[in-house]
Amino acid sequence: MPVAKCESVAELIKQRVVSGLHLGLLTYGARLPSVRDLSTEVRANPRVVMAAYRQLEAEGLVEMRERSGIFVTPKARQSRVGRADLVVETLLEGIRHGIPPIELPEIMKRGLARRARRAIVLECNDDQLFSIGEELRHDFGLDVQAVDLNARRVQPMRDLELRSADFFITTSFHAADVRKLSEQHNVPCIVLTMCVELFAGVRERLVHEPVYFVVTDPRFAKKLEQIFAEAPGASNLRVLVNGRDNLADIPPQAAAYVTRITRKTLGRLPWLERILPETHVFSRESSREILSFIVRSNLLDQIES
């Protein structure tokens, strides 16, 4: 079925660019398909594809160069354009809610610059415990404790330790168990969705070629196999465990994803040099939920104090 709407085409392009950067198949500054080629591929009117590219150009994701083509925006420029646009859009949203631009920075500061909130991350493997914890610390300024759910069954945490958390973090695989803990200890629980764009890009590529994941914990390897078990081309999934499997066998130009914890322990390998560092793994919805909890809690503290 043809892709008819500009928003749909723009989302398709964005997904391909983001997952391509994650997998090392694209680099900042890389050439993207022409309007004619993409319109043929997705069976959309060229004017719709052009409008989609223009939309992504306005967002700072792509550059359209006259007589040269369309390219992924270089990283330095993407950052500058993205930040300026973000400031403008944020101030406009404040005006829409009756907040003058001059007052909004102080309100945002009060919403974030309070005591560090404490999150306990409950997961079953080292790869996810590390990546979730690192993102919570770096992006949200949280005090994080990572707890292996399997180890917890052997050596339970003290109730006092659990109750001291501001909230629990887990993924859908363990949502039922962690929600029980949440109710038992009266601690809010956030269930993350992660790697949405990356996994969508992987599913698209599995149909045509092998895709490699390099992980540290064999338990995460099994989880990935479950995640992609029903995907078309699932037999093309290659999950390798660092320290167990021979990573040198990964073809130099293969699509490959390396988890954050694994990157910290790997030496120099030819295919690793072309893969860009992982940026964010939380979905937009999960990031919104975490920020909402932090800001609302901080502002409520100020009202009560």
Query: Does residue 127 carry a pLDDT above 90?
Result: yes
| Residue partners of 151: CB distance under 8 A and separation at least 6 | none
Q: Are 120 and 166 in contact (CB under 8 A)?
A: no
Q: Are 179 and 189 in contact (CB under 8 A)?
A: yes
Query: Given pLDDT bands bounded at 50, 70 and 90, which one contains residue 2?
Result: very low
Query: Does residue 268 carry a pLDDT above 80?
Result: no
Residues 192-196 have a mean pLDDT of: 88
Crossing angle, helix 104-112 and helix 75-96, to 10 degrees?
A: 100
Query: Does residue 126 carry a pLDDT above 90?
Result: yes
Give residue limits of the domains in the chain: 6-76, 114-194, 196-274
The pLDDT, as a whole number, for residue 273 is: 61
Position with higher pLDDT, 263 vs 179: 179
Amino acid code (one letter) for 45: N
Query: Given pLDDT bands bounded at 50, 70 and 90, which one contains residue 298?
Result: confident
| C-alpha radius of gyration, the chain, whole number | 22
CA–CA separation, 110 and 107 (whole Å): 5
Query: Does residue 1 carry a pLDDT above 50?
Result: no
List pLDDT tens digits, range 29-72. 889 999 999 888 888 888 988 998 988 888 888 889 888 899 98
Distance of CA 164 to CAs 11, 115, 158, 161, Å? 41, 14, 10, 5
CA–CA separation, 188 and 179 (whole Å): 8
Residues 234-255 have a mean pLDDT of: 90
CATH class of 114-194: alpha beta
Query: Does residue 21 carry a pLDDT above 80?
Result: no
Residues 284-297 have a mean pLDDT of: 89
CATH class of 6-76: mainly alpha
Give the pairing of strands 62-65 and 143-148: unpaired
Question: 16-26 burial, b if ≥16 CB within 10 A, otherwise e?
Answer: bbbbbbbbbbb
Position with higher pLDDT, 273 vs 160: 160
